[in-house]
Structure 1
């Protein structure tokens, strides 16, 4: 078990408690402020857009000055300053500015923390899932408790609750310390040469498409449920159910990966993803079907995320580890999430809410094809 396991778990708990609370209920907050579905789609897409820039900027700063924990702390204070805009803002432009500042600084925190974890684990990912699951537990606890508070006090309470969780994240960063870097006998391969390899391009294409599919959940799921007559308590419970399934899988995943490997687990996650999105689109009025679909989050997020991180280590290990994590966040969640959120927002406007999830199923199918190419080309390059 890593020496800082408890500190990593605490930071992830607080970070994802805030991120989960805000991403789950912000659409309802913006709708209450009079924003249209298209405007909400643009505002929520800033969560993904800033992941194109944030992880690489703060990852570079942290690596260049070798002070990753300091960057985590300073980013937290800057994010809190940006979040204050939600208390006094009431227009689309003001909310857009607040979303940009908030997500510019928070988007780099998770990859920096994960890079610290991977450095301390020294390539042994046995305990990765059991530490990472505390982020999911933070999500469950906060989303559940906040849903109760919002039912009682209304959506106006959301900024106060989310700000309190952001302050807790800053406090958790003060329990972390920097991990000494390992020295490497050989220089790492040039980054650009790695990014030009066809299997690496196919890998990032696959992960970006899968994240694009998931923006149908991250951006619109709460609004989708509310407009089909479900209460905020049910909405919170549905999110918590999905993340509870995710926690269980994170805890037991090491046995699955030891037996079946990252490639088979990724194929399984992608196949379940296609089925899950079809079920959500078809089951808007069938709560039991939506519950089953939420349980599939264990595969479509947790299993896919872990198999992606493990596959990434084949190319971005050692001195490229932190940069690989930043690229994964920037390309998959930044580019993939941004384009997916903006495209699906327009699709909702033109074709209706249910059809968004049929498009998401198609994106997951395309992600599967790209993953097939990734592993096929990887094998052929090794054999050559």
Structure 2
């Protein structure tokens, strides 16, 4: 069987590391197709903006359950590569239901199933990659970088494909990318996993049930609520304003490029300003970003500036949040702390935001109200952080 019984040398080989980079490229490339353009596809199928918001909310709920379910299976079985392959196969299989199913509940079922299996992919890919580069951890960032490259390439390609063909283009591109992702996993070798040095007893809730963490999570939830208008309707918004699909693709690629740059600077900036104020500044800039998108997006330079701010809205905030979780929970609860953060903030916050923004959007008539809602929820996210003493976020 491909990838079975791999020696450390095989797992660490140049070919295997290239395959891992390709897998990252395809995984994040798929996000570059669906995250910005799923709304365009659904709009083309005759969905109202409220239906689009409701569908997004329903499929986002799987992000609450999925990561913990798959992580538990991988931990108990010790077969991360098998889980990765199974998740990839089931993802492409269930996604292809969109070619036969139609209507709100049919497409909701297809995308919800796809998302449930999709959540199995990245955690196992991360663990597998870290094990393969254990002898030289610096190579991880060079492999992971290809994920951002994939997002940029596929976002631009899909935007152009919509211009050339129709709003159906994203599902055809997605099917090809997901099939490629599954095929790539078949040829990956699994590195030797690290044995756990200690067993952990006790509950994570004792650590989580404290004011600093609760305030941090409230802030993270409200920030993800604020992102829903952008994730769900940005491509439709720019189309309604007269921008081409290719221009939208380039704008989305610019945001990811800015994100890459800020990741390289994040460590230094966190040392200078501290976690609390980096998070606060990032969220404050995000609130400004959403407001100017709502009032002045007809000016291309405003759109360009708002996409550059994505470096802080997502890149810097994510880097600082991951570091806070890492430091706050310590080695004993690190993994479960990250899972808790992703499940609640992105799952619950994303679902609430998707439902609200879909209700407010009203086929574009309510675009100002939707972005104003996003700006206000981002401000609330910043206010929650003010209640956390800076010293409590430093360890």
| TM-score of the superposed pair, with normalisation by structure 2 | 0.87
1:367 has 2:381 as partner: yes
Matches within 5 A, 1:288-367: 288-349=301-362, 352-367=366-381
Shift of 1:84: 1.0
User: Partners of 1:83 and 1:286 in 2: how far apart?
Assistant: 37
| TM-score of the superposed pair, with normalisation by structure 1 | 0.89
Superposition CA RMSD, Å? 2.7
Which deviates the most, 346-355 or 3-12?
A: 3-12
Shift of 1:376: 4.6
**Where do 5+ consecutive residues of structure 1 fail to align?**
none
User: Partners of 2:321 and 2:128 in 1: how far apart?
Assistant: 18
Shift of 1:128: 6.7
Match of 1:274 among 269, 287, 304: 287
Give the structure 2 partner of residue 23 of structure 1.
Answer: 35
Give the structure 2 partner of residue 91 of structure 1.
Answer: 103
**Where do 5+ consecutive residues of structure 2 fail to align?**
1-10
Deviations 1:42-85 (A, max 9, x none): 22224421101111111111111122222111011111111111
Shift of 1:252: 3.5
User: Partners of 2:288 and 2:60 in 1: how far apart?
Assistant: 24
Contact (CA 8 Å) 1:274, 1:361: kept in 2 or not? Answer: yes
Contact (CA 8 Å) 2:39, 2:236: kept in 1 or not? Answer: yes
Give the structure 1 partner of residue 114 of structure 2.
Answer: 102
Matches within 5 A, 1:134-213: 134-174=146-186, 175=188, 177=190, 180-185=193-198, 187-213=200-226
User: Partners of 1:115 and 1:60 in 2: how far apart?
Assistant: 14
Contact (CA 8 Å) 1:112, 1:322: kept in 2 or not? Answer: no
Shift of 1:27: 1.1
User: Partners of 1:368 and 1:9 in 2: how far apart?
Assistant: 36
Tell me the number of residue pairs that the alignment of Structure 1 and Structure 2 aligns. Answer: 379
User: Partners of 2:36 and 2:268 in 1: how far apart?
Assistant: 31
Contact (CA 8 Å) 1:13, 1:137: kept in 2 or not? Answer: yes
1:59 has 2:71 as partner: yes
User: Partners of 2:286 and 2:138 in 1: how far apart?
Assistant: 25
Contact (CA 8 Å) 1:67, 1:178: kept in 2 or not? Answer: no
User: Partners of 1:328 and 1:179 in 2: how far apart?
Assistant: 28
Structure 1: 4+ residue segments shifted above 6 A: 118-122, 124-128
Where 1:224 maps in the other structure, the secondary structure is helix
User: Partners of 1:78 and 1:185 in 2: how far apart?
Assistant: 34
User: Partners of 1:189 and 1:339 in 2: how far apart?
Assistant: 31
User: Partners of 2:384 and 2:352 in 1: how far apart?
Assistant: 17
User: Partners of 2:123 and 2:138 in 1: how far apart?
Assistant: 19
Q: Do the aligned partners of residues 167 and 320 (structure 1) sit closer, same or farther apart at CA in structure 2, a change above 3 Å counting?
A: farther
User: Partners of 1:184 and 1:378 in 2: how far apart?
Assistant: 28
Contact (CA 8 Å) 1:150, 1:157: kept in 2 or not? Answer: yes
Q: Do the aligned partners of residues 223 and 100 (structure 1) sit closer, same or farther apart at CA in structure 2, a change above 3 Å counting?
A: same
Contact (CA 8 Å) 1:29, 1:156: kept in 2 or not? Answer: yes
